[in-house]
Amino acid sequence: MSVKLGERVQIGGIVAKNNVFCAPLAGYTDFAFRKLCYSFGAGLCFTEMVSAKGLLYDNEATKLLLYKDKSEEETAAQLFGSDPAVLRAACESELLRDFPIVDLNMGCPVPKVFKNGEGSALLLNFPLAEKIVSACKASGKKITVKFRIGVERGKVFAAEFAKLCEGAGADLITVHGRTRDMYYAGEPDYAQIAAAKRAVKIPVIANGGIFTREDARRMLDETGADGVMVARAAMYDPHVFAEILGGGAEWDKAAAIRGQIADMLPVYGEKFTLVQMRKMTAFYIHGVRGCAQYRNRLFGCESLKELDALLCEIFGTGAGGEDSACLSVDSRRDS
């Protein structure tokens, strides 16, 4: 019998409040976006993937990727790399002090990452993958691993890799039901995720093709997984977590966008915040009447005031006024 949406998940000694997770999304899952997803009920969020080497080099951009809001408790940091010693050192670094969970990326399909022997390339090197999990576990962190079912269609081995991760000490695994060559398209392979679930005793989170409550329910029913991970759907509609969990009224998109701006400004500065929120807003207005024209105008906005005015036009809301996030730029930190 499959688990129910909304059930808690054990990650070592840590308990995620429910089993509907937000995936690590490069360029999107910053602290302000995670805060919004948590507000809609996400059980666990992840940082976007962070280079273990970059973290140890004390890179300023890497530090910003790892910025965490005080309201976040169990947010996981996702690392990528291929050197067990470097990854362990990253887990033990001061920058990850406030992250009790570290997720290891063994699924990224991007050519640059793959050619460096990182991400999904680790699926082709079982001994190295095992050493990485074991080394990171020795850091004392709770360790999770996100991986794909294989590198090429027809050559899949989710169960074997799941066993490897468990044996090396992983506390939870997330299985993306596609091979590396599929990237993000095509039907996920439910049978492979199910095989991984049967192969291990640790919790298994299923990922791939989840956009609705029905998708999530089907994934749990067909795989026996302990939970689901939502990716691209959250970029368009972070309210999807509330919908999957079976509750929540329509969300106020204009207020949510202004809230993200207010959170981001003191940390990232006006320039970065504007660029990021033009991009995010372009996703959020998907389905709005005239969205194509609005997107063109959106990317032409040269200030947060312009963006706020456009929000008023798109959503028919009043301007933010004195409380508008985009008017409060005195405290910004441009970097």
Three-state SS for 141? coil
Amino acid at 38: Y
Q: pTM for the whole thing?
A: 0.93
φ/ψ of 207, rounded to 5, equals -135, 145
Dist. CA 80–CA 104, nearest whole Å: 6
Q: In the numeric block, which tokens belong to residue 131? A: 């050493």
CA distance 259 to 35: 10
Nearest to 110 by CA among 28, 169, 185, 180: 180
8 A C-beta contact, residue 188 and residue 145: no
Catalytic residue among 108, 136, 165, 301: 108
Three-state SS for 62?
Answer: helix
Gap between the Cα atoms of 190 and 154, Å rounded = 14
Digitized pLDDT (tens) for each residue of the chain, 335 residues in all: 679 999 999 999 999 999 999 999 999 999 999 999 999 999 999 999 999 999 998 788 888 999 999 888 889 999 999 999 999 999 999 999 999 999 999 999 999 999 999 999 999 999 999 999 999 999 999 999 999 999 999 899 999 999 999 999 999 999 999 999 999 999 999 999 999 999 999 999 999 999 999 999 999 999 999 999 999 999 999 999 999 999 877 889 999 999 999 999 999 999 999 999 999 999 999 988 898 999 999 999 999 999 999 999 999 865 444 344 444 333 333 33
Contacts for 52 with CB less than 8 Å, ≥ 6 apart = 79, 80, 81, 83, 86, 87, 89, 90
Which residue, chain included where needed, has tokens 């269609």? 153
Q: How far is 182 from 150, CA to CA, in rounded Å?
A: 10
The CA distance from 278 to 272, in Å, is: 10
Backbone phi, then psi, for 27, in 5-degree steps? 90, 0
CA pseudo-torsion sign 298, 300, 304, 308: negative
Backbone angles phi, psi at 142, to 5 degrees: -75, 130
Amino acid identity, residue 303?
Answer: S
What sign has the CA pseudo-torsion 74, 25, 326, 241? negative
Q: 3-state DSSP call for residue 144?
A: strand
Distance from C-alpha of 233 to C-alpha of 212, rounded to nearest angstrom: 8
Active site residue 22: no
Query: DSSP letters along 110-124, please?
Result: -HHHHHTT-GGGGGG
What domains can you pick out in the chain, each with its CATH number? Answer: 9-244 (3.20.20.70), 253-327 (no CATH)
**Is the Cα torsion angle 149, 240, 261, 303 positive or negative in sign?**
positive
